[in-house]
Amino acid sequence: MAKLPWHLSGPLHVSGRSRFIGDEAPLSGMLYAKFFFSPVAHARIIRLDLSAAHAFPGVHAVYGAQDIPGQNMIGHVLKDEPLFPDSEIMFYGQPLAMILAEDESIAEAAAKLIILEAEELPPVFSIEEAERLKQWYIPERKIARGDVDDALNKARYTIHGQSYTGGQEHFYMESQRTRAILTDHDLIHLLCATQSTMEVQEIAARVLGIPAHRIAVEVPRLGGAFGGKERSATIWAVMAALGAFLSGRPVQVMLTRDEDMRVTGKRHPFLSNWKIGFDEDGKIKAWDIELMCNGGAYVDLSVAILERAMFHADNCYHIPNVRIKGRACRTNLPPNTAFRGFGGPQGIFTIESALGQIAKKLNKDPLELRKLNCYQNGDITPYGQKISETSALKMLEQVAEAADYQKLIHEVHDFNSKHEHHKQGLGIMPVKFGISFTTALMNQGSALIWVYIDGSLSVSTGGVEMGQELNSKVALIVQRVLGLSYDKIRVESSHTQRTGNASPTAASTGSDINGNAARIAAEKIRKSLSEIARIMLQERYEIDSEELVFADDKVFAQAEPDKSIAFPELVRRAHQERTPLGAYGYYATPDLYFDRDLGQGNPFHYFVYGAAIARVQLGLLSGEHEILSTHIVHENAQSLHPDIDMGQVVGAFIQSVGWCTMEELVIDTKGRYLSANPSTYKIPGVRDLPRDLRVTLQPSKSAQASIFGSKAVGEPPFMYGMAVFFALQNAIQSVKPEAELSFPATPEAIIRALN
């Protein structure tokens, strides 16, 4: 098998030559922005005195709400979020003023001189408290099918429960940052670490009161994002734009790690109350659940995240009678936001918790229980989408075989009977994850290709490269259409002036949407070059062929591969013939719709399936654990690049293990994040991998799959990490059957569950 190509930016990354925003020499006259962050979580502003900061030597300007030329509004879904609050402070760490100075330490010192007089208002931090006060962004949402009340009444067994999952800091290695440069006076060029160029452009224009075409947003690459730069980047980008616009100087906004962790939003904590009805075999008859999320101070993406949690509250199980209610709660925390999985993990966690209780109640094998309830083709989801091409059951069977499940059960049982202070446990995690933005209009993308006169090619898409190797995949797609070698293809930065109105690179759809747009653009080029190639083949070899092959930087007739035209020759001739060497590609995902009032529709283009089994060992006295093994089987359709997809599966799994076992957000009574740096907030390190981690990427044929038969891979594998949580729960219950492990499963949580 041919060796797969390297990461497109890889040689730059490993040699330290890849540039991230801020990795450039400071521009002459550039000002550095720092902020005065609110020291209270909820308050009415009486007076904000900026004068001493203004007067501080080296300070160029101090800006606040009163200086905004356009609208003081950065809200997107709902118009609820100001750039700077002018009356009501909504969370601890909310920026109230921006200081621009010659260097960062001056700006920071000046920020300390700002005086805030405010009347403190009672803050709300928890879901429970927000629920009590009915602080919801929008009325309750509902998805229902069948008659859940009747089915619960008739069910042989019912269990009531409550589940909770915690938040998670993104911990992208590169903090939030934007550099804003005025060019030619009327264009503001934002070099911006965002996943959403369109949103930044639209909102910056709105805040400055100028047309969008005067804001150019460019993203060279991101040092990680995971959803944390989908919406959360906007405020900092707009700050930089405002600073440059008002001061006329280049402005750089770059948060420190502590600032970033303290003031930006995170994964939503979710609380759910549920009832599940089932028969003596474990067949689920009814599932009644209400999901509540902690949205933070502004709506941000909370409603869409809640919706995805609701869409995934069935995971891969067919349940005839379902009622899923959802409420997004407003609290006085930084606005929680997108994070890999986007509510999906939180929804799935709930039903998997319920299945765990059913297995315990009926003393039934957890694998068999899951197999019994798996979707079959033809089943209808609670939101009305018909299941076809399901491989949920197949994935469960394959992972059981790969892990030698029966042997595992025996070994764990044997170990537990022989050890008093150490216990082992198993966790199973099947996954069905829907692919598409559930807001249908976002499922569109564009690409622009230029073939230059020497035969080299440049392609731009609206997609943002953040380590997921979207750019490598785009290059592979263009390569496949035009037969160019990998190094002849340059994938450009995402830039609003080349590919405008780009949807965020999110929801795992980056390759599907942008890859298809790039394919369409490349096919246009191929079509126009084919006509020239036919002429050239005719002239040179007297070949008359309809079937042309573009490969190895050449074009030839399928029947006569030895008689070819080199690609650069072809391009030069096309230029002579005045044939376009540029093309625009546009793609919109077909057949998506969802009626929010009815809670019914076809929100997903397709589903991704997979399953994981984890085995852990726990020290009952230390509360510490080790993941002995994890087996994952992941349905990967016709992968564009299995090594990239493997990196996504393993990376998502480990990120999820962090969420489930060690990443714990702690706030104080004032609503201030105490876990605001890597010494107090622990993400997995190299020693936290399972001792034995085996991932099988299972190729499959799917009529629904996207670009060249491939399927999205960014988010679905995040679900596998929950197998580790449930394995720990299982280990604990082997000594204390009634114990419930709280989330995340830190040593402290484990000790608490055991005592």
Site for another protein in 450-479 (CB under 8 A): 466-469
Scanning 304-312, 562-570, 674-682, 706-714 for contacts with another protein by CB under 8 A, the matching segment is 674-682
Q: Which residues inside 724-753 make contact with another protein, applying CB under 8 A?
A: 746-748, 751-752
Q: Which residues are catalytic?
A: 715
153 is an interface residue for another protein by CB under 8 A? no
Q: Which residues inside 592-651 make contact with another protein, applying CB under 8 A?
A: 621-624, 643-644, 646-647, 650-651
**Closer residue to another protein, CB minimum distance, 311 or 653:** 653
The span from the first CA to the last CA of the chain, in angstroms, equals 55
Pairwise CA distance, residues 590 & 444, whole Å: 10
Least distance CB 58 / another protein (angstroms): 8
> Could you give the residue ranges of the DSSP H alpha helices within 363-390?
366-373
Identify which of 648, 640, 646, 634 has the alpha carbon closest to the alpha carbon of residue 715. 648
372 CB-contact burial (10 Å; exposed 0-12 / middle 13-18 / buried 19+): middle
Structure tokens at 86: 């002018």
Choose which of 134, 686, 703, 738 interacts with another protein (CB under 8 A): 686
Choose which of 87, 105, 153, 742 interacts with another protein (CB under 8 A): 105
**Closer residue to another protein, CB minimum distance, 79 or 419:** 419
Torsion of CA 13, 19, 25, 31, to 10 degrees: -130
**Closer residue to another protein, CB minimum distance, 82 or 651:** 651
Least distance CB 46 / another protein (angstroms): 28
Least distance CB 56 / another protein (angstroms): 10
Pairwise CA distance, residues 272 & 128, whole Å: 11
Q: How many CB atoms lie within 10 A of CB 377?
A: 10
490 is an interface residue for another protein by CB under 8 A? no
**Closer residue to another protein, CB minimum distance, 266 or 519:** 266
Q: Which residues inside 293-352 make contact with another protein, applying CB under 8 A?
A: none
Pairwise CA distance, residues 34 & 583, whole Å: 42
Choose which of 49, 140, 258, 577 interacts with another protein (CB under 8 A): 258
Q: At a CB cut-off of 8 Å and minimum separation 6, what does 336 contact?
A: 167, 265, 266, 267, 268, 269, 293, 294, 295, 296, 300, 302, 305
679 is an interface residue for another protein by CB under 8 A? yes
Report which secondary-structure segment, H or E, holds 145.
strand 141-145
Least distance CB 384 / another protein (angstroms): 36
415 is an interface residue for another protein by CB under 8 A? no
Scanning 3-11, 114-122, 243-251, 326-334 for contacts with another protein by CB under 8 A, the matching segment is 3-11
408 is an interface residue for another protein by CB under 8 A? no
**Closer residue to another protein, CB minimum distance, 424 or 564:** 424
353 is an interface residue for another protein by CB under 8 A? no
666 is an interface residue for another protein by CB under 8 A? yes
Q: Which residues inside 517-546 make contact with another protein, applying CB under 8 A?
A: none
Pairwise CA distance, residues 343 & 443, whole Å: 18
122 CB-contact burial (10 Å; exposed 0-12 / middle 13-18 / buried 19+): exposed
**Closer residue to another protein, CB minimum distance, 375 or 659:** 659
**Closer residue to another protein, CB minimum distance, 468 or 499:** 468
Q: Which residues inside 163-202 make contact with another protein, applying CB under 8 A?
A: 170-175
Pairwise CA distance, residues 503 & 233, whole Å: 14
10 is an interface residue for another protein by CB under 8 A? yes
- The site map against another protein for 419-438 (x = CB under 8 A) is --x-----------------
Choose which of 15, 363, 417, 576 interacts with another protein (CB under 8 A): 15
Choose which of 23, 140, 539, 591 interacts with another protein (CB under 8 A): 23
Least distance CB 1 / another protein (angstroms): 14
Query: Looking up tokens 């293990």, which residue turns up?
Result: 657
Least distance CB 539 / another protein (angstroms): 39
687 is an interface residue for another protein by CB under 8 A? yes
The amino acid at residue 572 is R
Choose which of 60, 76, 206, 221 interacts with another protein (CB under 8 A): 221
Scanning 73-81, 98-106, 130-138, 701-709 for contacts with another protein by CB under 8 A, the matching segment is 98-106
Q: What separation in angstroms does the CA of 27 have from each of 23, 542, 636, 740?
A: 11, 58, 45, 56
662 is an interface residue for another protein by CB under 8 A? yes
Choose which of 689, 704, 709, 740 interacts with another protein (CB under 8 A): 689
Q: What separation in angstroms does the CA of 150 have from each of 284, 285, 322, 459?
A: 14, 10, 11, 57
Pairwise CA distance, residues 721 & 217, whole Å: 35
Scanning 77-85, 251-259, 375-383, 489-497 for contacts with another protein by CB under 8 A, the matching segment is 251-259
406 is an interface residue for another protein by CB under 8 A? no
The strand ranges marked E within 489-624 are: 489-491, 494-495, 548-551, 554-557, 560-566, 582-588, 593-595, 600-602, 606-619
The amino acid at residue 739 is A
7 is an interface residue for another protein by CB under 8 A? yes
Pairwise CA distance, residues 316 & 106, whole Å: 55
Say whether 306 sits in a helix, a strand or coil: helix
Q: Which residues inside 34-63 make contact with another protein, applying CB under 8 A?
A: none
Least distance CB 187 / another protein (angstroms): 26
In eight-state DSSP terms, residue 114 is -
652 is an interface residue for another protein by CB under 8 A? yes
Pairwise CA distance, residues 396 & 206, whole Å: 50
Site residue total, another protein (CB under 8 A): 80
Least distance CB 154 / another protein (angstroms): 44
**Closer residue to another protein, CB minimum distance, 318 or 340:** 340
Query: Looking up tokens 């599966």, which residue turns up?
Result: 649
Report which secondary-structure segment, H or E, holds 637.
strand 625-637
Torsion of CA 434, 437, 440, 442, to 10 degrees: -160
